Chains A and B, each alone.
Chain A
Amino acid sequence: MAPLAITAFTSTTALGAGLAAQAAALREQRSGLRRNDFGAQPLDCWIGRVEGLEQAPLPAALGEWESRNHRLAWLALQQDGLPQALEAAVARHGADRVAVVLGTSTSSIGASEEAYTRLDRDGDGGEHFPADLARPPLHTPHSLGLFVQAATGLRGPCVTVATACSSSAKVFAQAARLLRAGLADAVLVGGVDTLCGSVLFGFHSLQLVAAEPCRPFDARRLGLSLGEAGGYALLERDAAAPLAWLAGYGESSDAHHMSAPHPEGLGAKLAMAQALQRGGIDAGQVGYLNLHGTATPANDSIEAAAVAALFPDTLHASSTKGWTGHTLGAAGIVESAIALLALRDGLLPGTLNSSQADPACGAQIRFAPAQRRIDYAMNNSFGFGGNNCALLFARA
């Protein structure tokens, strides 16, 4: 495919707001995980919680959109010169020609959960949302897209992709198609997911949450740590001075199980191979691969085998979930931003918290960081329903 210009990107996680905070923590091997202190009955686990959202209300003009997810969406939207980049894109193309394609797994369901803890009961026993949360556009998956459209004034096609943990990786592929089809001249992509009861207790019910900070690819790994995050990138057909290029993408389905990966990593391999093919490069040219690497026993060994089947031993591949936690629908954008930082700065992260190699994993899986200039970086994101996406980025 013709590479697409990335003219802005940003990410906000438990490591802090904006790219400088991500880069500093990656350099300093400093995790953003902390003991779970979220909600009334916190499970015994570790989380990647974004500091300060409770004290950061939305601007009054956007007050009708109040939710934890939109606070994080708003905070992430203010970082790394994104408002200026959007303004410039609107000046170049017109607001009608800038689309919004965002990923999330749970959107503002935290607000729906809160409403159920304090429903108003009428005389007939009927239950109703409390007045402060009785805002219909908040209680639907597209709440995120509607909010960002309201916050930015962008008027191109606006859509929310919700394919669980691959959501904000697939937005890059959908944006590429919108640009190719001529339906937009620029696309704001990204994703936001916030901690909420649904995911904490849901993943706990599947016995996938570790009581310790997650240790991806470690032989002793016990499961994932959940996190929250938001991030964006601006894609255009071309640019005078792009920050990087989207060089390829691959999407596939496992056709196997709703919450367990295909045992041979069939879908994962298809997605990675397709991204390489679209990029027109050999596997040996990829300098860094940010793995899905959730630290669940099943994901990591299957993903490592899929990587070993496609890439030479020289590949530097790692999971950064020990820094941020698994940010679910935001993982695609968060880890794409890390891959883009690797292209920009040459910092190839290792795998935080992990020290004992799993013999099932190949030489590609690295626990220690490295520093070198690379030309291509890939990011893997896999979701429930066997929904896989791999993205290939190239240095500007």
Chain B
Amino acid sequence: MSLQARIEGIGFWSHGLPDWAHAQGFARGAATEAATPARPAPRLLAPNERRRAPDSVAVALEVALAACEAAGRDPAMLPSVFASTHGDLAITDYMCRTLASEPQAMSPTRFHNSVHNAAAGYWTIGAGALAPATAISAYRASFAQGLIEALAQLADGSEAVLLVAYDAGGAGALGEMAQSEGLLGAALVLSRDDGSHTDDGKPLLRAHWQSGDATAGTGRLARRIAANIMAPMLPLFDALACGEPSAVVHAGLDRSLRLELS
């Protein structure tokens, strides 16, 4: 079974690689690291929200907007799929700590920021998007399952869809259970395409669901950012950066997605 889409735009952010151009250069072997702040400051949020938003929300909105700009698509018009393994671990740690010590002191803002669809919510508010947004998790298969949902939305009639994948670092005692380091986000604007024509520099992606797991990525991005729990998506971004014809990403228990790029 295969599904396909044109990749119209890519967004990327991790420490030292604040956009897709830097990530692409690094993946190809260049020493293109840039100085980055601890987290991006997404333009889509009002200044007070920009300061208060959880790290996971900040990175998700940064890469989402970058992908829309690269695609030349209006963010308000796109349905969106937000994939994250753990959501925001710092907020979950805060909730658990507060409940264990002084439950009545729970912050209402942090509570509503604790929902797994916080980034999706802030995105739709900031972009003014009335289109559907979803937020999914599938442990280490979160990216692959998010990609499947995005491709299935295209197969169901959507013209284009925004896929955003992100995870933040672990926090507190929870950090030993839900292990993840650093801040990582990537986004793709995907559009319907039957592959009958070519589009300069915009790759066509075909996804095949298959038995057997993916092996750990060996590309430069996959090795550099291996400690973030969203790292299973990186073989695709290494392949996109280096113009390779395919990549395999983990998609669940003994399952993977083979992604062909042309």
Q: Do A and B associate with each other?
A: yes
B104: chain A residues at CB < 8 Å are 201, 204
Is A105 engaged at the interface, CB distance under 8 Å to the other chain?
A: yes
* Number of B interface residues in the complex (CB < 8 A): 68
- Name which residue of chain B comes closest to A200, CB basis: B103
Contact of B253 among A115, A158, A203 (CB under 8 A): A158
Chain B 159-185 per-residue mask, 1 if CB under 8 angstroms from chain A, else 0:
000000000000011101111000000
Residue of A with least CB distance to B80:
A253
- What is the chain A residue whose CB lies nearest that of B124? A253
Please, what's the 1-or-0 string for A187-200, where 1 marks a CB less than 8 Å from any CB in chain B? 00000000001100
Q: Is B152 an interface residue (CB 8 A)?
A: yes
Find chain A residues with CB under 8 A from B127 CB. 255
Residues of chain B lying within 8 A (CB to CB) of residue A164? 115-117
CB of A141 within 8 Å of the partner chain: yes
Known: A177-B155, A206-B108, A206-B112. A255 touches B137 (CB 8 A): no
Are B108's CB and A386's CB within 8 A? no
Q: A139: which B residues are within 8 A, CB to CB? A: 174, 177-178
Say whether B152 contacts A178, CB under 8 Å. yes
| Range class of the A interface residue count | 35 or more
Given A115-B96, A197-B99, A384–B121 Cβ distance below 8 Å? yes
In the complex, whether A205 has a CB less than 8 A from a CB of chain B is yes
- On chain A, the residues within 8 Å of B139 by CB distance are 137, 140, 142, 145-146
A253–B117 Cα distance when bound, in Å, is 12
Chain B hits for A149, CB < 8 A: 253
Is the beta-carbon distance between A180 and B156 smaller than 8 angstroms? yes
State A159–B145 Cα separation when bound (angstroms): 7
Closest residue on chain B to residue A141 by CB atoms: B137
Q: Contact at B125–A258, with CB atoms within 8 Å? A: yes
A122–B148 CA distance with the chains assembled, in angstroms: 43
Chain A residues near B255 (CB, 8 Å)? 155, 157
A254 within 8 A of B: yes
In Å, the complex CA distance between A254 and B122 comes to 11
Task: Pull 19 A–B residue pairs with CB atoms less than 8 Å apart, ordered by A.
Answer: A116-B96, A116-B100, A129-B177, A141-B86, A149-B253, A155-B255, A159-B136, A161-B134, A163-B115, A163-B133, A170-B134, A181-B155, A198-B99, A201-B98, A207-B108, A254-B125, A255-B129, A258-B125, A387-B121
